[in-house]
């Protein structure tokens, strides 16, 4: 089992797909990494040699921000937006969508589940 950047890569998957299990690496970046070390995309993780794993690990450590560093950078950027009081920062602080989506309906992911008030009486009709 290959362990890269603190992640255990699944041994029965192709290396092209297995690298995407690392936070910050998608399919295109995975292909880019494999091109740099001239490695076939279709090799299974269990068939990699130790030298190939070391070369992948070196490229990831030297050229890309992944996992904890990338997550830390994202939270710092969001915190910076909140501190300077931008529109996006205020929306982050309130827990609302920030890219122009409607909030009258929908937006349940950001706003949370619907809260109903039990036993609330309606105003009587006149």
Mean pLDDT, to the nearest integer, of 21-36? 93
CA distances from 123 to 7, 99, 117, 119, 126 (A): 58, 37, 15, 13, 9
Mean pLDDT of 84-113: 89
What are the tens digits of pLDDT across the range 39-79? 999 999 999 999 999 999 999 999 999 888 999 999 999 99
Helices within the chain (DSSP H only) = 15-18, 27-36, 50-63, 67-84, 87-94, 108-111
Do the Cβ atoms of 22 and 7 come closer than 8 Å? yes
Average pLDDT over residues 96-118: 83
pLDDT category of residue 90 using cuts at 50, 70 and 90: very high
Question: Measured on CA atoms in the order 72, 73, 79, 82, is the torsion positive or negative?
Answer: negative
Strand-pair partners of 4: 7
Set out the domains of the chain in order of their start, with CATH numbers. Answer: 3-63 (1.10.8.50), 68-111 (4.10.910.10)
Q: What is the mean pLDDT of residues 18-23?
A: 93
């Amino acid at each position: 089992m290959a362990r890269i950047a603190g992640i255990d890569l699944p041994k029965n998957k192709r290396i092209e797909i297995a690298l995407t299990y690392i936070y910050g690496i998608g399919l295109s970046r995975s292909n880019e990494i494999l091109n740099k070390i001239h490695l076939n995309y279709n090799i299974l993780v269990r068939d990699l040699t130790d030298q190939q794993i070391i070369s992948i690990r070196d490229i990831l450590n030297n050229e890309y921000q992944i996992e904890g560093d990338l997550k830390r950078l994202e939270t710092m950027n969001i915190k910076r937006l909140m501190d300077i009081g931008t529109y996006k920062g205020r929306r982050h602080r309130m827990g609302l969508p920030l890219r122009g989506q409607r909030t009258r309906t929908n937006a349940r992911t950001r706003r949370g589940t619907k809260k109903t008030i039990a036993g609330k009486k309606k105003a009587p009709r006149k």
